[in-house]
Amino acid sequence: MGKQYLGVKDGRLAECPNSPNCVSTQTEQSDKKMEPLPFHGDLNSTKETLKKVLQEMERTKLEIEEEHYIHALVVTKLFRFKDDVEFYLDDSSRKVHFRSASRTGYSDMGVNRKRMKAFTDAYYGYIEKEAHS
């Protein structure tokens, strides 16, 4: 396996490796698959909501922000491993695709899935809160 890329190529984030330390909305591997998020308003509103949720996550730093892409670096609590969390805002489908993967190691003991489940819940929480304000 070659070095994994970060970013979007041909409308897709990188495929998850064979190791069980990655989740993605664009993978073909069913055990690593998660559902994409819907846009929250337009592209800019969606991006702002994503960034608000990222700002609330512990040990998380926004690394790259582009028009249709966000990359954040997360340092794990226990072993201080670095994980990459990426978002691709797909205007054509009005979906936010994401990928969360450990840079090192083999198993992540479900950390990436738990992180993105919590992220998804917080994202929907923001949408719900704004709908009632």
Q: Tens digit of pLDDT for each residue in 83-120?
A: 999 999 999 999 999 999 988 777 777 889 999 999 99
Count other C-beta atoms under 10 Å from residue 45's C-beta.
13
* CATH value at residue 106: 3.30.310.80
pTM for the model stands at 0.92
CB 13 within 8 A of CB 85: no
User: Do the domain assignments include residue 17?
Assistant: no
Q: Tens digit of pLDDT for each residue in 47-77?
A: 999 999 999 999 999 999 999 999 999 998 8
Half-sphere exposure of 105 (CA within 13 A, CB side): 17
Alpha carbons 27 and 33: distance in angstroms, whole number: 6
Q: Tens digit of pLDDT for each residue in 33-42?
A: 999 999 999 9
Structural domain harbouring 106: 22-131
Question: Which value, to the nearest 10 degrees, does the dihedral of the CA atoms of residues 55, 17, 32, 116 take?
Answer: -10
User: Do the domain assignments include residue 57?
Assistant: yes
User: Do the domain assignments include residue 11?
Assistant: no
Residue type, 21: N
